[in-house]
């Protein structure tokens, strides 16, 4: 077996047998990794803390050549992100970000910029309005996966520059007013929302979060990018459904 030592963020855990865990974590250089931690429940809370959801830690694992389920032996916590687990809102949004990364990436397919995006999002989540952070996170995750919508010109006729138009969920691209008949279900996209989407696709997470957007534009961008993501996934993720189900509770808590 090959031995690896890597930092990682915990995406998901699953009880395994009486005292073990199956852990899915995301690393900068190895991508997504799954492994078994044996005897974790027998060894107390200190041992378990290294495998809590959202934890940023350094892990040692033994790679099995004939399986993608490896043996995790040690965890040294770098950052616990306990603040994300202290509030329902933090748990809900961080879980959604983790499920998205888990759903979109393949095992041991490196994406160091996705690791940085997730790590930075965990830092921003306690201090930035989560719905706003969510929109930027999803847009930039799509960018890193090569799924970012095409917004530079009309998909059908190539007209540019376009300051507004219609967004085709089916094609993941912008179409102009004259070509709207090619996709009558395309969503109207105003100049403000189009500018924001382009900015989110080009700039860093921190730079995007410094920009002020009106609630109207934020809602339009969020609606569009969420609809596009769900179309590409072919489903609505469980954590997305949970977020939608508690929206009114979170609104009351934040008002």
List of E strands, the chain: 2-16, 20-27, 31-37, 56-63, 69-79, 165-168, 173-175, 187-189
Q: 2-80: what CATH class?
A: mainly beta
* pLDDT at residue number 55: 96
Distance CA 189, CA 95 (A): 29
Can you tell me which residue has the tokens 């965990």? 122
* pLDDT at residue number 252: 66
Q: Is residue 96 within 8 Å of residue 234, measured between CB atoms?
A: no
Domain range list for the chain? 2-80, 88-254
Q: What are phi and psi of 146, to 5 degrees?
A: 80, 20
* pLDDT at residue number 48: 78
In b/e form, how buried is each residue of 28-56, taking b as 16+ CB within 10 angstroms? bebbbbbbbbeebbeeeeeeeebbbbbbb
* pLDDT at residue number 119: 98
Q: For 88-254, CATH number?
A: 1.20.1440.120
Question: If the chain, 255 residues long, is cut into consecutive pieces of 10 residues, what is the mean pLDDT of each piece?
Answer: 92 88 95 90 65 95 90 94 92 97 95 98 95 95 95 94 93 95 94 95 95 90 94 95 86 63
Question: What 3-state DSSP class applies to 166?
Answer: strand
3-class SS letters over 44-68: HHHHHHCCCCCCEEEEEEEECCCCC
* pLDDT at residue number 102: 97
Q: Is residue 77 within 8 Å of residue 37, measured between CB atoms?
A: no
Q: Which two tokens stand for residue 29?
A: 């250089």
Distance CA 136, CA 204 (A): 9
Write the DSSP symbol of residue 163.
S
How crowded is residue 235: how many other Cβ atoms within 10 Å of its Cβ?
A: 11
Q: What are phi and psi of 230, to 5 degrees?
A: -65, -35
Q: Is residue 233 within 8 Å of residue 225, measured between CB atoms?
A: no
* pLDDT at residue number 44: 52
Question: What 3-state DSSP class applies to 8?
Answer: strand
């Amino acid at each position: 077996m090959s031995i690896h030592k890597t930092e990682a963020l915990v995406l998901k855990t699953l009880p395994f047998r009486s005292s073990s865990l199956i852990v899915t974590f995301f690393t900068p250089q190895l991508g997504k990794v799954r492994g078994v931690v044996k005897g974790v429940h027998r060894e107390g809370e200190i041992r378990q803390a290294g495998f809590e959801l959202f934890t940023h830690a350094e892990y040692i694992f033994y790679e099995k050549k004939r399986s993608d389920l490896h043996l995790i032996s040690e965890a040294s916590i770098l950052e616990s992100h306990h603040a994300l687990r202290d509030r329902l809102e933090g748990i809900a949004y961080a879980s959604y970000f983790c499920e998205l990364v888990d759903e979109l990436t393949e095992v041991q397919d490196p994406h160091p910029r996705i690791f940085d995006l997730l790590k930075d999002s965990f830092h921003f989540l306690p201090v930035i309005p989560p719905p706003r952070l969510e929109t930027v996170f999803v847009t930039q995750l799509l960018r890193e996966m090569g799924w970012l919508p095409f917004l530079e010109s009309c998909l059908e006729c190539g007209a540019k520059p376009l300051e507004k138009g219609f967004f085709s969920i089916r094609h993941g691209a912008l179409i102009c007013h004259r070509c709207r008949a090619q996709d009558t279900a395309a969503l109207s996209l105003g100049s403000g929302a189009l500018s924001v989407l382009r900015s989110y696709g080009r700039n860093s997470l921190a730079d995007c979060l410094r920009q002020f957007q009106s609630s109207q534009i934020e809602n339009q961008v969020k609606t569009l990018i969420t609809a596009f993501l769900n179309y590409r996934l072919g489903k609505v993720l469980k954590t997305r459904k949970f977020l939608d189900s508690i929206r009114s509770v979170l609104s009351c808590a934040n008002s």
